[in-house]
Amino acid sequence: MSTVLSDTFQVALGKLTNDEQKQVKITVFDLQTDPSGPGLKFHRIDKSKDENFWSVRVSRDIRIIVHKLKDSLALVYVDHHDDAYKWAERRRMEVHEKTGALQIVEVRERVVEIDAPIAVQAELFGGGSPLATRSDIGSSPTASSVSTEPQPKLFAALSEDDLLSVGVPRDWLADIAAADEERFFQLAGHLPSEAGEALLDYAATGILKPAAAPVADPMQHPDSLRRFRVMEGIDELRAALDAPFERWTVFLHPAQRGVVERDYSGPARVAGSAGTGKTVVALHRVMRHLRREPRARILLTTFSEPLARALGTKLDLLTSDRPDVADRVTIGAFSAVARDLVTLATGRTPRVADAGIIRAALSRAAESAGVVEFSPQFLLSEWEHVVDAWGVTSAEAYAEVPRMGRKSRLGARQRERLWQVFAAVRESLNRQGVLTPASLFAHAAELYGERVEKPFDAIIVDEAQDLGVPELRFLAAIAPVRGDALFFAGDLGQRIFQQPFSWKGLGVDVRGRSATLKVNYRTSHQIRRAADRLLPKSVRDVDGLEDERGGTVSVFDGPEPQLFLAKDEEAETKAAAAFLKAATADGIAPGEIGLFVRSEKELARARACAEAGGLPIQGDGVVDGIVIGTMHLAKGLEFRAVAVVACDEDVLPLPARIDDVADEFELDEVMATERQLLYVAATRARDRLFISGIEPGSEFLEDLTKAWI
């Protein structure tokens, strides 16, 4: 008998205490080993309309709900006795009559009447009511503020067959047909995920996208695979149950699965706004290579070591039942991989100069050459973004290198004088036997570029929007010459490090092989909508590829984010503490809360907020404490609640970055990446978001109160 794991079971498991979870897992392992074991006590759910729902006793009060058939046992829910039974009595498991997908359906007649929410959004899609700037954090709209005027039916143009084609259960058709905008958001959470998403998408775009066609085995339908997975062994089951908060690594959305399974004829990319599962796709792409090529060597890489470690943890969930597979995957940051490959090829560990050494070398070289007409900021910028990034090693090459987007135009005479400085810096670094970060990548690319035998069979890159010219050249050089060797996952809207450049110009052309994910599973509708106001509706790269941000839908509702402008630090601390206390009072653990600031200078303010909220801080022996850090460190993480504090006028954007600007183009880039940094921090939140600053606050905060125009 096969054991089937449902996403509803993992969600429910994550809500139990640690001790209760341990007891449940013991019982689950017994079920998989021998479902007919004498110690297991099954009881049919008499009041359920699905005769195949049974309860399994875990302890005196905890019950597992299973769907029991002759050849399978599906784990579908777990809770305390009464709540577990109520859940089962209100549901049935069936194959949808139109789509052929296996669904867990709420029985409409047993769902209590769905009341409209007190706080009504002015507009569900594409902006909506502005995020209130207020100091009375605890306030909320009252019933008297709700409009009682009749609203148009949202799905009046859709037929019964249309609704069935996206997976709406028959007993919910009347509710959907009668729903206006306000009521539909209440209904969406009661529908199977594919139906709720398709209708949300229709409401946002006016286009209805039917579900995939039926297949012979309902369990293999794309919409079944998003919520059910057959467990192949005890190790796989154990890994899945040990990480219920990361259940998305087990269950793929059909759009994600399509990108994962596609055969590509060249470099490919998956894009999408924060929370749409790009990393999930990257991880499953790794697994696809491992399954198809028994001896394949895979590189999974990203821009920082903390993110690389996080990728390793997530990949462990997918490879737990195949330890031999995990050994064939190398996981590391771009720079660490380049350093290791250079060491492997030369037998020597390269020495890499830090930013301080580069600044000092530029200053000495400029003084020695008498070049005083260019500021230190300009010299550093020209070195980093043009000379070193593009590997310029001669005056002739510098005279011809394209200075894409640089508004400080340079004549031939100016370039000649500047080259005296840059040539002296190159010579100085060579004498010291040190590389720059960019020349490390160039050296590795030179060592491996002409080799027929490459170190990896495939390379998967996460957070690819922060690749620079040297990194992309390096990855292209170590990749084998085959169609699907390079795969990138990233979001242009989350670019916080690199200036834009042409990938196509470096021989990496993803046009025609780029897909955009549109379903946000991580972030509530309210948080996603507010954060989206920080960015343009679409972002275009240098090669003309456009990331269209409109039309993305979140699959769950939540409270409005809170934006608080304080008179002073004391008032901000008090407000942030109130937010943190409210979150923990509602059952959110300290370890599920993130608290972020722009730079290390503001960390003391963050700590004061956490201490005022009575929360332990992660670190110094504390494991399950609130996570405090800079916005850059928030990248790649996720939390149930996030507070972003100290967003002051003289903090965000960071003055030091503005001071280092060399020309107008760089100023535009700095402002864009600072804005995107706030977007990254805000979208780490799943359910609750608090953003604060001291009056008048960062100029970006005003954008949070506006919709796209």
Segment 685-706, tens digit of pLDDT: 989 999 999 999 999 998 877 6
Question: Given pLDDT bands bounded at 50, 70 and 90, which one contains residue 321?
Answer: low
591 DSSP assignment: G
> How far is Cα 591 from Cα 172, in angstroms, rounded to an integer?
38
Mean pLDDT check: name the lowest of 410-419, 620-629, 699-708. Answer: 699-708
524 DSSP assignment: -
Q: Provide the pLDDT for residue 546.
A: 67
Q: Which is more confidently placed, 367 or 377?
A: 367
Of these ranges, 4-18, 132-146, 597-611, 644-658, the one predicted with the greatest mean pLDDT is 597-611
602 DSSP assignment: G
159-188: average pLDDT: 89
Q: Is the pLDDT of residue 285 over 90?
A: yes
Q: Provide the pLDDT for residue 119.
A: 34
For residue 378, give Cα distances in angstroms to 360, 374, 677: 14, 6, 24
Of these ranges, 85-94, 192-201, 255-264, the one predicted with the greatest mean pLDDT is 85-94
Q: Is 157 left (phi over 0), alpha (psi -120 to 50) or beta?
A: alpha
* Residue closest to 654 by CA, chosen among 464, 539, 533, 496: 496
Question: Given pLDDT bands bounded at 50, 70 and 90, which one contains residue 140?
Answer: very low
Q: Is the pLDDT of residue 218 over 90?
A: yes
In the chain, % of residues over pLDDT 90: 44
Question: Given pLDDT bands bounded at 50, 70 and 90, which one contains residue 130?
Answer: very low
* Residue closest to 224 by CA, chosen among 54, 45, 74, 25: 74
Q: Is the pLDDT of residue 125 over 50?
A: no
- What is the β-pairing status of strands 268-272 and 514-517? parallel
115-142: average pLDDT: 36
Q: Which is more confidently placed, 71 or 302?
A: 302
> How far is Cα 305 from Cα 308, in angstroms, rounded to an integer?
5
Mean pLDDT check: name the lowest of 166-180, 525-539, 617-631. Answer: 525-539
Going by C-beta distance under 8 Å and a sequence separation of 6 or more, which residues neighbour residue 409?
A: none
Q: Is the pLDDT of residue 122 over 60?
A: no
Question: Given pLDDT bands bounded at 50, 70 and 90, which one contains residue 413?
Answer: confident
> How far is Cα 415 from Cα 398, in angstroms, rounded to an integer?
7
pLDDT, averaged across the chain: 84
Within 10 A of 303 (CB to CB), how many other CB atoms are there? Answer: 25
* Residue closest to 138 by CA, chosen among 560, 531, 589: 560
385 DSSP assignment: I
Q: Is the pLDDT of residue 135 over 50?
A: no
Q: Is 338 left (phi over 0), alpha (psi -120 to 50) or beta?
A: alpha
> How far is Cα 627 from Cα 591, in angstroms, rounded to an integer?
7
Q: Provide the pLDDT for residue 552.
A: 78
Q: Provide the pLDDT for residue 493.
A: 61
Q: Provide the pLDDT for residue 76.
A: 95
For residue 387, give Cα distances in angstroms to 133, 391, 430: 45, 6, 15
Question: Given pLDDT bands bounded at 50, 70 and 90, which one contains residue 138?
Answer: very low
Q: Provide the pLDDT for residue 128.
A: 34
Q: How many CA atoms lie within 13 A of 176 on its CB side?
A: 30
Question: Given pLDDT bands bounded at 50, 70 and 90, which one contains residue 634?
Answer: confident
Residue ranges and CATH numbers for the domains of the chain are 2-89 (3.30.2310.20), 248-347+441-548 (3.40.50.300), 379-434 (no CATH), 559-703 (3.40.50.300)
For residue 60, give Cα distances in angstroms to 26, 41, 484: 15, 12, 53
* Residue closest to 78 by CA, chosen among 144, 30, 7, 146: 7
> How far is Cα 240 from Cα 452, in angstroms, rounded to an integer?
40
In the chain, % of residues over pLDDT 70: 86
Segment 3-34, tens digit of pLDDT: 899 989 988 988 888 889 889 999 988 888 87
Within 10 A of 160 (CB to CB), how many other CB atoms are there? Answer: 13
* Residue closest to 151 by CA, chosen among 127, 175, 182, 120: 182
Within 10 A of 157 (CB to CB), how many other CB atoms are there? Answer: 10
Counting Cβ atoms within 10 Å, is residue 355 exposed (0-12), middle (13-18) or buried (19+)?
Answer: exposed
Q: Provide the pLDDT for residue 116.
A: 41
> How far is Cα 248 from Cα 522, in angstroms, rounded to an integer?
9
Mean pLDDT check: name the lowest of 9-18, 136-145, 261-270. Answer: 136-145
How far is C-alpha 596 from the chain's CA centre?
17
286-303: average pLDDT: 90
Q: Is the pLDDT of residue 117 over 60?
A: no
Q: Is the pLDDT of residue 150 over 80?
A: no
- What is the β-pairing status of strands 519-520 and 486-489? unpaired
